[in-house]
Amino acid sequence: DTGVSQDPRHKITKRGQNVTFRCDPISEHNRLYWYRQTLGQGPEFLTYFQNEAQLEKSRLLSDRFSAERPKGSFSTLEIQRTEQGDSAMYLCASSIKAINEQFFGPGTRLTVL
């Protein structure tokens, strides 16, 4: 399968714990995006990278959230001191610069107890 992959698919954690998610984009795609989707809502943009540079961050991305893409390939999204409000589906997408199509992964569903 050469699509966008995300790991893990599901994560259950207790409030206050840290969690980290991984996204592997399509191999030749230089742009990588993170979105968050809560129940009954459309995905909301969090941040995106072009190669290893983080070019844009949403106001939704609080100080407890950090994303990296150290070598311009896979990316990680870490949430520190999780809160129940962080429970959501976290989606990753990738694209080729200047092409208007983002390819989405299956998402990581986070449940904070």
User: Considering beta carbons, is residue 3 or 8 the nearer one to another protein?
Assistant: 3
**Interaction pattern, residues 74-93, with another protein; x per rule: CB under 8 A:** -----------------x-x
> What residues have CB less than 8 Å from 113, skipping those under 6 apart?
12, 13, 14, 15, 84
Q: Report the residue number, 14 or 27, with the smaller CB distance to another protein.
A: 27
Residue-level length of the chain: 113
- Note the Cα 20 to chain centre separation in Å: 10
Alpha helices, DSSP H only, in the chain?
none
Binders of another protein in range 18-57 (CB under 8 A): 31, 33, 35, 40-45, 48, 50, 55-56
Question: Looking at beta carbons only, is 67 or 82 nearer to another protein?
Answer: 67
- Considering only 2, 27, 84, 100, the residue that binds another protein (CB under 8 A) is 100
Closest alpha carbon to 21 in 70, 51, 66, 53? 66
